[in-house]
């Protein structure tokens, strides 16, 4: 929101919240939230005829289509090295898609023409696995560590340092590996493509075993008398994955549904127990077999004027020309899984903390694997609607009885998923009491509920709501700034299986067909689909994921015994050689790149950068409300394609501070419950039928002082925020429903409150294990500012305590909890002081704004009494703390933080350049490359001057803290030359100019207004970024040394890791351990 800062914390609406890139791609591909392929991320010779399909647009979300942009209308080029297979228009997203085949190598290419400045490239390979050693995952990491042409150690990190990239990563799926990049700058885009193509086709890793050792696994031995250990980035990453019950549940479910399958029954990401069995020869051979153009799917997307098809093809030919069509490798085809004749059961253990306060519980899930044949587009779309009918919202036909049963704490499984070779449907509960009786009750409830649904059918209002939800989601995909990447991921969901890659991008024909069918037969369409794919499908698995308190200890003991056995087999000479190998690897990792190698990388220069900031249009008005009060109206004229985006904010400071931890519960109840006139089911269906989304959340941010100075720690902006969107002709309904949600929600529903609290608690307990870096950082932020304290109350470890207490109160004294929630809502909801934020196009903005007075008129108008403000103590800054948050995990999350600017002290734009450089250079090399952590970060906030170090899935603890403390010394002893300085500035500008969706731009402008950030201040900040010097890096060293000297520490780690670290840490810095779960 403000350049160079940590962004304001905005929790998305509970109802149909904004989708991540992966979910957006899944929606395009026809997948919903079920058993989908979850990636591991780093990261005719003559012109073909153009086919254009007719469109049929549903009236509720009809958006007029302008004439084709000239950059789309142009005919695709031809090239002698490529066969032009076909050309098609995808009217749904106004893109022209040409499909080519490289004549010599057999590589398949999609070239998409779009009126979009964000250019996208991707290359994907089918990478079927034979075991759980994680070879495709390790290779995904390794190919980005140098190549034949670009010989520096890690071109990937060099690109991160000095590119304007809008996306740069890689993904390993169960059956494919994908390498996508994106940039709005044409020169930068070509640089990224060249580096990535050399990386995947000619990586250093296939010639240099040290890359495999670093990214995959290796033995580490510091001295002959010390114990042998395993190290490696992927090894440690997967230890973190295998510490998460939710991740283990997904893996166990895939393995169970595809039992015996040669690919899907094993883990492409790697099982930590199997990764050390992978040899370098097998690793290199995997690249030889699968990383060949004959097995490649290549995608290029962008504006034809800036990225002509002829240039795209010429670039690809320059890389593909040396390859023939034969690679001498294995069979990359993905076999179908035969149908099982009868239902079956599978049980798997998962680790829990033996000392946890709560009793251990199990996961119980039923999964159905669909028959071994592709689904027709109309069935995929129908299944998307059916999934929403069953599980799309708390009042949905299957989710509601599961939640009401009190048999578990949260629904799992995710429903329908279609991004593997075969589609599947799965659903269950976690938080289920142990034992077969409880498992049987959950299984019976799911089957009985589905039978009942099939017998009684779906109400017409439910069908209309779900149809609108899915259609809105499909059409809204074009509003994403990363739509080109989403289209690629959607295309790959069919392309890798030899099917039509364009089909996932289309939906009009299937939608029109489905609407006609629904018009004739109503909900029977979906009942028939449910019977055919689920109820009459014998390929059904019942999975129970059973808690095992000793499992973590057993796994650790087995690893230590294995390493001890290896050590015993080694002679003294071999141990000495292993010591030398350990030192040699560390020396290689620590060594700086040869300047000649770095010079080979294509780069931008600062002259390629734009000097001016990009502003977002905003008009600020006041609206008089009854009683003499005033509300603020912010409007943004933006190209929203006929959609309207609404935000309504209320100051959370109207509440006493003791009520703040209960705000998440209030938000969820307001978002999901019924109103005074409509019950939960009816209101939910009305919202889904009339809008694209509507819900209540929170927005918090530190507040800077004028002129770019660090804000006072006791000042913050904190708001309750309603957010919604709809097509312009549904704006009246959007505003009416928003008013209902705010003012008329019926909070007196103890049963639903209990269910919500159980769900939220289950999610939070899972998140603290899988995202411990966020919880550790939040614990530190709470010590340093009011905003940090509020954020921690809303989503940190203390929120777990609030949820437990609120759950107990809801069950024992509901009237008292209800009274509190009612009092909170009354204090918050006042038209006086409200902020209304509207984003729409020119045609819709004025008519939409006319509804604002009616919305405000539905709210109480009297000014709420002030509670005297929130008190906050600065003691956390003065006295460092060292906190160990104990959870069952095989990895650690390590954070250290301190404000390094005083309130009122001006913060220069160069700080964003230096802090970003440290993330991609020093910390990357010491914490990730040498230390083996999966991730590391230095977050610096220009709003309050706080610096926060953190690591993710880290095998170390004390060593990581030592690395943090060495940051200042690194800056002083490694002065930046002109080339490195230029890259650091370019990378920082790339972050400033990251593309945003239209609705996000409107919210960003609103937040800037609330914080008082002016366009002049933004331009000064940018000028300072561009003017950063090497001296600014040295000056920052003195600041960052304060974190080493006086910073507080918080870690999320296991009991044993905390105890081991305390042996190494000085007495004053030892961690005070406390159990979280």
Q: Which residues are catalytic?
A: 140, 215
Phi then psi dihedrals of residue 123, to 5 deg? -130, 130
Is-contact 506 343, C-beta < 8 A?
Answer: no
Q: Which residue has the tokens 């600041």?
A: 1039
Q: Which residues touch 93 (CB under 8 Å, ≥6 apart)?
A: 114, 477, 478, 483, 487, 505
Neighbours of 536 (CB within 10 A): 9
In sequence order, the β-bridge partners of residue 678 are none
Identify the burial level of 896 via C-beta atoms within 10 angstroms of its C-beta, where 0-12 means exposed, 13-18 middle and 19 or more buried.
buried
Q: Edge-to-edge strands of the sheet including 9-10?
A: 9-10, 693-702, 716-727, 643-651, 835-840, 630-637, 619-624
CA distance 889 to 1051: 12
Q: What angle do CA 610, 611, 613 make, to 5 degrees?
A: 90
Eight-class DSSP state of 319: H
Give me 55's structure tokens.
Answer: 């469109």
* 349 SS3 class: strand
Q: Which residue in 954, 962, 920 sits closest to 938, CA to CA?
A: 920
Neighbours of 507 (CB within 10 A): 27
Query: β-strands 835-840, 935-940: how paired?
Result: unpaired
Give per-residue burial for 375-413: e unless 16+ CB within 10 Å, then b: bebbbbbbbbbbbbbbbbbbbbbbbbebbeeebbbbbbb
Give me 691's structure tokens.
Answer: 């809008």
CA distance 95 to 505: 10
Q: How far is CA 365 from the centre of its chain?
A: 24
Q: Which residue in 254, 443, 252 sits closest to 366, CA to CA?
A: 443
Helix (H) or strand (E) holding 63: none
Eight-class DSSP state of 325: S
Identify the burial level of 92 via C-beta atoms within 10 angstroms of its C-beta, where 0-12 means exposed, 13-18 middle and 19 or more buried.
buried
As a three-state string, the secondary structure of 876-929 is HHHCCCEEEEECCCCCEEEEEEEECCCCCCECCCHHHHHHHHHHHHHHHHHHHH
CA dihedral 217, 218, 220, 224 (to 10 degrees): 150
CA distance 318 to 60: 48
CA distance 4 to 616: 17
Q: How far is CA 893 from the centre of its chain?
A: 18
What DSSP string runs through 108-147? Answer: EEEEEEES-S-EEEEEEEE---SSSS-HHHHHHHHTTS-B
Is-contact 288 327, C-beta < 8 A?
Answer: yes
Is-contact 82 99, C-beta < 8 A?
Answer: no
Q: Which residue has the tokens 């990636």?
A: 39
Phi then psi dihedrals of residue 332, to 5 deg? -90, 5
Q: What angle do CA 774, 931, 277 make, to 5 degrees?
A: 105
């Amino acid at each position: 929101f403000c350049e160079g800062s940590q962004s304001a914390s905005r929790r998305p609406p509970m109802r149909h919240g904004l989708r991540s890139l992966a979910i957006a791609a899944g929606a395009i591909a026809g997948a919903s939230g079920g058993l989908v392929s979850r990636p591991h991320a780093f990261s005719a010779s003559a012109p073909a005829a153009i086919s254009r399909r007719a469109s049929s647009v549903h009236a509720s979300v009809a958006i007029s289509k302008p004439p084709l942009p000239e950059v789309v209308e142009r005919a695709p080029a031809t090239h002698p090295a490529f066969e032009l297979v076909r050309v098609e228009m995808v009217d749904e997203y106004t893109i022209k898609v040409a499909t080519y085949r490289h004549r010599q190598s057999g590589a398949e290419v999609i070239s998409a023409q779009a009126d979009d400045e964000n250019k996208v490239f991707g290359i994907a390979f089918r990478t079927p696995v034979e075991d759980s050693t994680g070879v495709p995952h390790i290779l995904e990491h390794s190919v980005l560590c140098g190549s034949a042409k670009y010989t520096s150690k890690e071109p990937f990190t060099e690109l991160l340092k000095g590119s304007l990239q809008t996306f740069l990563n890689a993904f390993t799926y169960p059956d494919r590996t994908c390498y996508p990049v994106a940039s709005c700058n044409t020169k930068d885009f070509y640089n990224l493509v060249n580096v990535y193509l050399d990386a995947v086709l000619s990586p250093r890793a296939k010639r240099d075993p040290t890359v495999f050792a670093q990214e995959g696994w290796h033995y580490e031995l510091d001295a002959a008398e010390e114990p042998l250990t395993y190290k490696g980035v992927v090894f440690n990453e997967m230890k973190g994955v295998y510490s998460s019950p939710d991740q283990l549940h997904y893996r166990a479910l895939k393995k169970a549904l595809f039992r015996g399958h040669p690919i899907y029954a094993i883990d492409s990401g790697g099982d930590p127990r199997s990764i050390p069995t992978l040899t370098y020869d097998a690793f290199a051979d995997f690249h030889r077999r699968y990383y060949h153009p004959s097995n490649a799917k290549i995608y290029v997307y962008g504006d034809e004027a800036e990225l002509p098809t002829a240039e795209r093809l010429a670039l690809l030919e320059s890389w593909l020309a040396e390859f023939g069509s034969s690679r001498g490798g294995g069979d990359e085809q993905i076999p179908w899984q035969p149908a099982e004749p009868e239902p079956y059961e599978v049980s798997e253990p998962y680790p829990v903390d033996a000392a946890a306060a709560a009793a251990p519980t199990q996961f119980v899930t039923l999964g159905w694997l669909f028959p071994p044949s592709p689904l027709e587009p109309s069935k995929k779309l129908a299944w998307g609607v059916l999934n929403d009918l069953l599980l799309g919202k708390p009042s949905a036909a299957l989710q509601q009885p599961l939640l009401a049963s009190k048999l578990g704490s949260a629904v799992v499984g995710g429903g329908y998923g279609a991004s593997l070779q075969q589609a599947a449907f799965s659903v269950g509960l976690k938080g289920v009491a142990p034992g077969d009786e409880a498992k049987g009750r959950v299984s019976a409830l799911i089957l009985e509920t589905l039978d009942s649904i099939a017998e009684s059918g779906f109400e017409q209002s439910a069908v209309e709501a779900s149809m609108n939800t899915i259609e809105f989601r499909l059409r809204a995909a074009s509003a994403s700034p990363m739509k080109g990447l989403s289209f690629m991921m959607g295309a790959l969901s069919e392309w890798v299986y030899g099917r039509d890659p364009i089909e996932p991008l289309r939906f009009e024909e299937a939608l029109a067909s489905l609407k006609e069918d629904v018009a004739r037969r109503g909900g029977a369409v979906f009942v028939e689909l449910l019977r055919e794919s689920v109820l009459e499908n014998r390929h059904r698995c019942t999975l129970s994921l059973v808690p095992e308190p000793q499992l973590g200890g057993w796994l650790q003991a087995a690893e230590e015994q294995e390493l001890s056995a290896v050590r015993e087999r080694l002679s003294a000479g071999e141990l000495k050689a292993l010591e030398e190998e350990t030192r040699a690897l560390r020396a290689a990792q620590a060594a700086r790149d040869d300047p000649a190698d770095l010079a080979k990388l294509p780069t931008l220069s600062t002259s390629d950068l734009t000097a001016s900031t990009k502003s977002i249009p905003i008009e600020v008005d006041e609206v008089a409300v009854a009683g003499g009060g005033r509300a603020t109206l912010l409007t943004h004229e933006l190209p929203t394609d006929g959609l309207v985006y609404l935000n309504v904010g209320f100051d959370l400071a109207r509440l006493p501070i003791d009520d703040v931890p209960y705000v998440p519960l209030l938000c969820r109840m307001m978002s999901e419950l019924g109103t005074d006139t409509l019950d939960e089911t009816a209101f939910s269906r009305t919202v889904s039928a009339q809008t694209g989304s509507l819900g209540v959340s929170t927005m918090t941010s530190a507040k800077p002082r004028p002129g770019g100075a660090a804000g006072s720690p006791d000042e913050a902006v904190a708001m309750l925020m309603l957010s919604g969107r709809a097509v312009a002709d549904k704006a009246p309904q959007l505003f009416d429903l928003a008013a209902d949600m705010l003012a008329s929600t019926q909070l007196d529903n103890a049963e639903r409150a209990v269910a919500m609290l159980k769900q939220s608690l289950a999610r939070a307990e899972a998140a603290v294990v899988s995202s411990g870096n966020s919880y550790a950082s939040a614990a530190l932020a709470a010590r340093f500012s009011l905003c940090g304290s509020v954020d921690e109350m809303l989503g940190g470890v203390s929120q777990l305590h609030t949820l437990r207490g609120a759950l107990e109160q809801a069950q024992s004294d509901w009237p008292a909890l209800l009274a509190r929630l009612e009092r909170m809502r009354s204090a918050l909801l006042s038209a006086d002081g409200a902020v209304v934020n509207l984003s729409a196009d020119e045609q819709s903005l004025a008519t939409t704004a006319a509804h604002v007075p009616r919305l405000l008129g539905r709210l109480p108008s009297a000014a709420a009494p002030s509670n005297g403000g929130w008190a906050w103590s600065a003691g956390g800054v003065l006295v460092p703390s060292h906190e160990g948050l104990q959870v069952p995990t095989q990895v650690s999350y390590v954070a250290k933080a301190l404000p390094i600017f005083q309130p009122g002290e001006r913060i220069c734009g160069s700080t964003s350049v230096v802090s970003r450089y440290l993330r991609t250079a020093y910390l990357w090399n010491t914490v990730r490359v040498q230390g083996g952590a999966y991730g590391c970060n230095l977050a610096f906030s220009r709003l309050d001057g706080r610096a926060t170090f953190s690591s993710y899935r880290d095998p170390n603890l004390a060593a990581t803290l030592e690395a943090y403390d060495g940051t200042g010394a690194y800056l002083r002893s490694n002065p930046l030359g002109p080339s490195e300085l230029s890259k650091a500035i370019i990378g920082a500008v790339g972050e400033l100019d990251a593309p945003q969706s239209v609705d996000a731009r409107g919210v960003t402008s609103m937040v800037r207004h609330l914080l008082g950030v002016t366009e002049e201040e933004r331009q000064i900040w940018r000028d300072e970024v561009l003017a950063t010097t090497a001296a600014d890096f040295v000056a920052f060293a003195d600041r960052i040394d304060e974190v080493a000297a006086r910073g507080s520490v918080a870690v999320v780690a296991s009991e044993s890791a905390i105890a081991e670290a305390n042996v190494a840490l000085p007495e004053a810095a030892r961690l005070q351990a406390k159990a979280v779960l």
